[in-house]
């Protein structure tokens, strides 16, 4: 987690197995995606994904993008986004449970 501004938290996720290197994600307290920025990779596809997922619940994005492959690779930028979101939600639920 990076910061907490007005009920929105920012996260950075280092990707694995894709052209993008990092994903910046902003979620509100209801797990609504406020922003997604891919660092590196195909800018057209990354920008398109970012626009499509803004305003969606993280859980819905995970369901839709999980397991997406890119060519011969075992993963993709959309799949990495779903992995990042799942990790964030898991960390949040552990935090909320333990507090």
2, pLDDT greater than 60: no
pLDDT digits (tens, 9 = 90+) for 63-97: 999 999 999 999 999 999 999 999 999 999 886 54
Given a contact cutoff of 8 angstroms between Cβ atoms, the answer to whether 49 and 81 are in contact is yes
pLDDT digits (tens, 9 = 90+) for 18-73: 999 999 999 999 999 999 999 999 999 999 999 999 999 999 999 999 999 999 99
* DSSP of 1-43: --EEETTEEEEEEE-SSSSEEEEEEEEETTSBEEEEEEEES-H
Q: From the centroid of its chain, how far is CA 28?
A: 13
- pLDDT recorded at residue 90: 95
Q: What residues pair up with 13 in beta bridges, in sequence order?
A: 23
11, pLDDT greater than 50: yes
By three-state DSSP, how is residue 57 classified?
Answer: strand
């Amino acid at each position: 987690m990076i910061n907490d501004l007005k009920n929105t938290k920012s996260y950075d996720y280092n990707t694995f197995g894709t052209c993008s290197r990092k994903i910046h994600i902003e979620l509100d307290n209801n797990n609504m995606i406020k922003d997604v920025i891919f660092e590196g990779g195909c800018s057209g596809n990354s920008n398109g994904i970012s626009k499509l997922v803004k305003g969606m619940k993280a859980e819905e994005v995970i369901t839709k993008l999980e397991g997406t492959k890119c060519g011969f690779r075992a993963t993709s930028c959309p799949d990495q986004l779903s992995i990042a979101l799942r990790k964030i939600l898991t960390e949040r639920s552990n935090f909320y449970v333990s507090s």
